[in-house]
Amino acid sequence: MTAFFNHEGFDLAYVDRAPDAGGAAEPVLLIHGFASSLEVNWVGPGWVKTLAQAGYRVIAFDNRGHGRSSKSYEPADYAPEKMAGDAAALLRHLGIGRAHVMGYSMGARISAFLALAEPALVATLVFGGLGIGMVDGVGEWDPIAEALTAADPSTITHARGKTFRTFADQTKSDRRALAACIMTSRTLLSEDEVARIAQPTLVAVGTTDDVGGSPAELAALMPNAEAFDIVGRDHMLSVGDRTFKKRALEFWAAHPL
């Protein structure tokens, strides 16, 4: 059942699912990617069900500008620091002092900013769909903003822009809000900043993903990270991959709270 809480004037939608077996459980906070939502990124691909069945308390929310959460058309509202602040506020709203945190794509970047700003809240990290691109960048994104706001989608010629426009239309997203989000949410982290992330971290990227960049290169910059190749999967399909779920569960089992 979806609930809402307010942070910085945004009504943010979230789900908080207890483990199937009941009782006390380690919390896992899930942070979705750009143009997605908790339903598209985590419920549909089976993450919420898989984690609950494995005995975890699963918390997921719609980032500002996405899903059922409030929208803004001001790019400044989508700085990663602000979006990480939403994640921290949700944990505090739920009385959770420490959690496993997993983000996919933009959500991985938000998770990194959360770990740097609120290290005591973050026990472990899983970065999905974003490797060294967190530092080096993930290609040119201005054409994506243009594609999101194009009046006629048939006029879009940029391949990645067309992909994200189609995805935004399929998810019935507010494309104007997404265009504002993409202008500021892709702030890069420096190598020094990444090196300060000391939590145990799993970096998982598809072997045919042309967005996220090498997981091994990012993991090599961090003091306590390991890489995982999601074999044969691109950026859109990696998120629901069974081998990714299996590896994440193994990682959390090896690094309990």
pLDDT digits (tens, 9 = 90+) for 202-255: 999 999 998 899 999 999 999 999 999 999 999 989 999 999 999 999 999 999
Q: What is the CATH number of the domain that holds 30?
A: 3.40.50.1820
Q: What is the pLDDT of residue 253?
A: 96
Residue 160 lies in a domain: no
How much is the pLDDT for 33? 95
Give how many domains the chain has, as a whole number.
Answer: 1
Structural domain includes residue 134: yes
Considering the domain boundaries, does residue 87 fall inside one?
yes
Task: Provide the whole-model pTM.
Answer: 0.95
**Residue 146 located in a structural domain:** no
Least-confidence region, from 104-108, 182-186, 189-193: 182-186
Whether residue 23 has pLDDT greater than 80? no
Is residue 163 in a domain? no
Does 36 reside within a domain?
yes
* Contact predicate 225/68, CB 8 Å: no
Q: Which residue, 153, 174, 159, 166, is CA-closest to 65? A: 174
Both tokens of 25, joined, read 């459980």
In a domain, 178, yes or no: no
pLDDT of residue 100: 98
Q: pLDDT for 46-80, tens place per residue? A: 999 999 999 999 999 999 999 999 999 999 999 99
Where residue 167 falls among pLDDT bands split at 50, 70, 90?
confident
* pLDDT band with cut points at 50, 70 and 90 for residue 133: very high
In whole angstroms, how far apart are CA 81 and each of 64, 76, 111? 12, 10, 10
The verdict on residue 86 lying in a domain is yes
Q: Are 204 and 230 in contact (CB under 8 A)?
A: yes
Question: 248: domain range?
Answer: 3-138+188-254
